[in-house]
Chain A
Amino acid sequence: METVLFYLFATVALASAVMVVVNRKVFYSAISLIICLCSVAVLYLILESPFIAAIQIIVYAGAIMVVFLFVIMLLDPFSSSIMRDKKKFLAYIGVLLGILTITLLYPVLRSYDIAQTPKNPRFLDREVGSIKQLGESLFNEYLLPFEMTSVLILIAIIGVVVLAKRQVSK
C-alpha cells in the first residue's frame, strides 16, 4: 500500500515538475507547480510528518502560490510570456548539464548507508512526527532562529512596500 502510494505520487510529482518547465504559458506552469506541491505533501504524510504536510498545503500551495497567480494575472501573461527562443542551444546545454548531474550524483546517493548513521535516542519511534515534539524543539532549541524569521519577515514587508510604491515625483 505504502509502496503503491509512493510510486503513484512520485510519478505525479515528477510529471508535474516537468510540466512546470515544459509549459510555455506561465499560468499553466504555476498550476502544475501546485499539483507538484500537493503530491509532495502526500509523500510527507507517508513519511509520518503530518504537520509539515498540512503546512505545505496551507502555506505553500495556498498562500505563496496564490501570490504567484495573483501577480501572473496582474501582469497579463498570455500576451507577454510566449517568447521567441533566441538561444535554442541553451535548452540543450541545460538538459545535458542535468543528465551529467544525475550521473555524478547517483553513485553518491547510492553509497550512503543509513545503518551507519547513529539514530537519535531522544525520541521514541512514534513521537517524531507529532506536533508536540515539533513545538517543543522549535521553542527551546530553535528559539533564536524562530525569532530571527520574524525579523526577516518584517524586513521583507518593508522592502516590498518600498519597492512597490509608485514614485510620484519624477
Chain B
Amino acid sequence: MKNFNGEILFLDRADINTDEIIPARYLTEITKEALKPYLLEDLKFDGFDPAKDIAGKQVIITQSNFGCGSSREHAPWALEVNGINLVIGESFARIFRQNMFNCGMMAVALSKEEIDRLFAEFSGSPATLETDFANNRFTIKGNNREADIGFSISGFDRALVEAGGWVDYADVNY
C-alpha cells in the first residue's frame, strides 16, 4: 500500500482542472518520472506558487470538483512521482477520482463543513496528516491543534488501494 501520511498542501480553489495539474504540453512524456518538475505548473491563484509550495508535501487538501477536464492519468502520476498519494476535497471529477484509485492512490471526499473547518483551522501554517486506513480516520496536526476526522470510501476503492491498483485487481478477478 502507498503512503498516505505527511505534510499538507492546501489548495484553496474549486474546479482545479487536469490541465492545471499537468499541462498538455508535457503529455509527450512516456514515463511518469519525467512529469515530476511540472506538477501544478499552470495553477495560478493568490497564495500559491508551484515552485515553492509543493516540495515536501505528501497530502493535498482542496475544494470541490478537483481534477475536472481531461482524462489524463498523467495528473495522478504527476502527483505520485512527487510523493503525493492522497487528495482530500469536497468532491472530484469522475475520471480523476477513478484514476487515483486505479493507481492505488486515494481521492477522499469530505463534507463542505469539514473542508471549510480544515482550511480555517490548519491552512496558512505547517500541518501534517496521518491516515489510519484500517479505521477510516485522518488525524491532522498543526497550528497547535489536532483534528480527528472519519472518512468513508467504497469497498471497491478499498480493494483497489489494497491491491495496489485496478490492473492487479482485474488480473486476479477477470
A-B complex is real: no
Residues of chain B touching chain A, judged by Cβ–Cβ distance below 8 Å, are none
